[in-house]
Amino acid sequence: MKIAFLKKYLTNQLGLIGLGILIFFVVTAVFAPYIAPYDPDQRYKSTDHPNSAHLLGTNHVGQDILSELIYGTRVSLFITLFASFVSAFIGTSLGVIAGYFGRTDFFIMRIVDLFLTIPRLPLIIIIAAFMRPSVWNLVFVFALFEWSITARIIRSEVLTLKNRPYVDATRMFGAGDFYILGRHILPNVVPLVVVQLVLVSRYIILAESGLSFIGLGDPTAKSWGMILHDAFEYPTIFISDAWMWWMLPAGMCIVLTILSLTFIGYALEELVNPRLKLLT
Amino acid sequence: MNIITKVVSYVLIIFIILSLNFFLPRMMPAGPLSDSGITSSNESVLEEYINYMVNLVHGELGWSTSRNAPVWDVLKESLKWTVLLVGTSTAIYVIAGILTGAVSAWKKGKKSDAGLLVLLISLASFPPFFLGMLFIVFLAWRLDIFPRFGAQTLFIDYSTPFGVVLDILHHLILPAATLTLTSIGVIYLLTRNSMLNVLGEDYILAARAKGLSEWYIMRKHALKNALLPIITMVALVAGFVITGTIFVETVFAYPGVGVLVYEAVQAHDYPLLQGAFLIIALAILAVNFIADMVYVHLDPRVREE
């Protein structure tokens, strides 16, 4: 069944393109030290134009922009993926607990409602502003605030799953809660969790780039958003040609990652819920 | 959920936000507090907390260290520009989103549908600040057809009041376009889906069988019923747009509340940051609350529960 799922995904063109782009960035992130021509902290002649030594020139303090970009892939993807995995984990756990064990349902769902209504991004910005800017703090604030939608979706799925006849039958044969959860509930929410994981990643990378852009990123581990922050702060970025090698590549990396996550998200949603087919 | 529980939950959230705003600077390591202008007197925390709430009611939000002025005065000055920017963008993306979504659903599977879909989904992948920077590079500097920053031309005498309006609109176009284009995708997709669902209903078939014109069916039968789920989404996107102004105003140096967040972060002006945060958070909550109420009013099924 899983192989059929994968095969079906691979026939989806949008999904394939998205997956291809994402794999490209993940490989870049993992092998950054081998791909990058220089150490991103090493300083050379500042604001150099692109030349054979520095393909994308250097920034205001003389760091090689191409190396920054390659290492930036690491930072951006690490924050995004780590935070979305944690938030998916929290959301799924709470959703399953709320949906399966009725007693905690009311309490958990009120907290979920609260987190859904609270303006999350402004809150993330102000909390990040009061903390020391670091990669781990960013992971923490995003994970803390982005689990609520997942919890709600998983809960309603568990509510329908736990009353299915086959679950009743299993229970009648004397299966315990944990057997039913592990055997019948969790495997069936996995596709939804994966879709949520992709959608939350998409949101977090957009938000992370924004936070870094306004100067709340980690200055010792620059993400793509931080590169754009540096570029924007450079006085003649719009007047000179510097935008072409300083601003455009970092921005396009963000756009492509978001686009790839969007494509993967649509492809997965089509698989989980074929009625949503985008283009026929 | 009935109206009373809704109101109670909103009041609770406002209370939480106000409290967070009070406790955040006090939970952090001593760093920001020392030079921030946030009181560190010898009152107990409870007394400070009560004072803070009382001051809030009186519109006293503290002293902005970077502007050297009361935070509330700075905010008041900026608010009108943000309202103008958010208002214009919201009006445009709601109308344009619904129209493009309806067209796309109507032409499903045709070239115009696929074209709109690809274009609007791609635009939604641009962080607002990056799209804004591209606009500045191309439209403001290279082509030189739009102003490069601000909300008005400085040091200029207008011969007519009409000239002022024209100048303000000219400055508004790029920031508003950036916000609109990056947020239209959600409304577009939702309208498209909602319309497709409605167009599959039997009463649409019946209307066609009666021989009504395609345009009449779209307008009176399909769109009207498809709009309901869009209202909640409009509020959600409005929240996205209000947050988006932080980035867009920064890029265009547009003198609203959003750019204050950027300035405050750069200058470590925490009272100003907190004031701007309060305004933004309360605005988003207000929009959501209005949408909830409108929804209850429009859909009797919600009221019955």
3-state SS of chain A: helix, strand, coil percent to 5? 75, 0, 25
Q: Is residue A209 within 8 Å of residue A224, measured between CB atoms?
A: yes
Average pLDDT over residues B18-40: 65
Within a domain: A175: yes
Q: Do A238 and B108 touch (CB under 8 A)?
A: no
Tens of pLDDT, residue by residue over A152-189, are 999 999 998 888 888 888 888 888 888 888 888 888 89
The whole-angstrom separation of Cα B283 and Cα B299 is: 24
Lookup result for tokens 């796309």: B104
Tens of pLDDT, residue by residue over B151-199, are 777 777 767 777 788 888 888 889 999 999 998 988 998 888 888 888 8
Average pLDDT over residues B60-67: 82
The whole-angstrom separation of Cα A202 and Cα A207 is: 9
User: Does the pLDDT at position B30 exceed 50?
Assistant: no
Across the interface, of B10, B32, B247, the residue whose CB is closest to A214 is B247
- What pLDDT sits at residue A276? 57
- What pLDDT sits at residue B281? 92
User: Does the pLDDT at position A277 exceed 70?
Assistant: no
User: Does the pLDDT at position B12 exceed 50?
Assistant: yes
Q: Is residue B167 within 8 Å of residue B152, measured between CB atoms?
A: yes
- What pLDDT sits at residue B203? 86
The whole-angstrom separation of Cα A171 and Cα A188 is: 17
Within a domain: A214: yes
Instruction: Tell me the average pLDDT of chain B.
Output: 84
Distances (CA, A) of B81 to A24, A92, B77, B276, B300: 42, 41, 8, 14, 37
Closest-approach residue (CA) in chain A for B144:
A239
Interface A–B counts its CB contacts (< 8 A) at 121
- What pLDDT sits at residue A229? 93
Q: Is residue B116 within 8 Å of residue B99, measured between CB atoms?
A: no
In angstroms, how far is the first alpha carbon of chain B from the final one? 7
Structure tokens at A155: 């809960």
A30 or A63, higher pLDDT: A30
The whole-angstrom separation of Cα B188 and Cα A31 is: 39
Within a domain: A190: yes
Task: Give me the phi and psi of B36, to 5 degrees please.
Answer: -95, -15
Look at A118-132, A210-224, B36-50, B99-113 and tell me which has the smallest mean pLDDT: B36-50
Look at A79-93, A151-165, B215-229 and tell me which has the smallest mean pLDDT: B215-229
**B61: helix, coil or strand?**
coil
B73 or A4, higher pLDDT: B73
> Which ranges in B126-267 belong to alpha helices (H)?
128-135, 161-199, 202-209, 214-216, 224-226, 228-252, 257-267
Mutation pick from B5, B20, B33, B125 vs chain A, by most beta carbons of A within 10 Å, is B125
Residue B305: which pLDDT band, with cuts at 50, 70 and 90?
very low
Lookup result for tokens 């994308």: A56
Structural domains of chain B ordered from first start: 78-299 (1.10.3720.10)
The whole-angstrom separation of Cα B151 and Cα B168 is: 6
* Residues recorded for chain A: 280
Average pLDDT over residues B261-266: 89
Q: What percent of chain A has pLDDT over 90?
A: 42
User: Which DSSP category does A221 fall into?
Assistant: S
Q: Which residues make Cβ contacts (< 8 Å) with residue B117, sequence separation at least 6?
A: A278, A279, B104, B192
Domain, as residue range, for A19: 2-42+56-279
Average pLDDT over residues A79-83: 94
Tens of pLDDT, residue by residue over A222-261, are 999 999 999 898 888 888 888 888 899 999 999 999 999 9
User: Does the pLDDT at position B37 exceed 60?
Assistant: no
Lookup result for tokens 């609770």: B12
Q: What percent of chain A has pLDDT over 70?
A: 96
Closest-approach residue (CA) in chain B for A125:
B277
Nearest chain A Cα distance for residue B163, angstroms: 28
- Enumerate the β-bridge partners of residue A64: A58
Average pLDDT over residues B253-279: 89
ipTM score of complex: 0.89
Within a domain: A47: no
Tens of pLDDT, residue by residue over A87-117, are 999 999 999 999 988 888 888 988 998 888 8
Q: Model pTM? A: 0.89
Contacting residues of A for B114, CB less than 8 Å apart: 279
Contacting residues of A for B16, CB less than 8 Å apart: 114, 118
| CB-facing half-sphere around the CA of A62: CA atoms within 13 A | 5
- Report which of B113, B71, B117, B94 is spatially closest to residue B276, judged by C-alpha positions: B71
Q: Do B24 and A127 touch (CB under 8 A)?
A: yes
- What pLDDT sits at residue B295? 77
Q: Do A238 and B109 touch (CB under 8 A)?
A: no
Within a domain: A219: yes
Residue A21: which pLDDT band, with cuts at 50, 70 and 90?
very high
Q: Is residue A253 within 8 Å of residue A73, measured between CB atoms?
A: yes
Mutation pick from B130, B198, B257, B274 vs chain A, by most beta carbons of A within 10 Å, is B130
Most confident among A213-222, B136-145, B286-295 (mean pLDDT): A213-222
- What pLDDT sits at residue A280? 43
Task: Identify the CATH number of the domain in which residue A252 sits.
Answer: 1.10.3720.10
Mutation pick from A137, A199, A212, A213 vs chain B, by most beta carbons of B within 10 Å, is A213
User: Does the pLDDT at position B213 exceed 80?
Assistant: yes
Average pLDDT over residues B3-15: 86
Q: Is residue B59 within 8 Å of residue B219, measured between CB atoms?
A: no
C-beta pairs of A141-144 under 8 Å, 24+ apart in sequence? A142/A79, A142/A83, A142/A84, A142/A87, A142/A204, A142/A207, A142/A208, A143/A82, A143/A83, A143/A86, A143/A87, A143/A90
User: Which DSSP category does A274 fall into?
Assistant: G
The whole-angstrom separation of Cα A215 and Cα B267 is: 11
- Report which of A51, A81, A77, A76 is spatially closest to residue A66, judged by C-alpha positions: A51
The whole-angstrom separation of Cα B191 and Cα B223 is: 9
**A104: helix, coil or strand?**
helix
Contacting residues of A for B280, CB less than 8 Å apart: 119, 122
Q: What percent of chain B has pLDDT over 90?
A: 24
**Total count of domains within chain A:** 1
Closest-approach residue (CA) in chain A for B29:
A131
Q: Give the other-Cβ count within 10 Å of B105's Cβ.
A: 22
Within a domain: A203: yes
Within a domain: A94: yes
Within a domain: A48: no
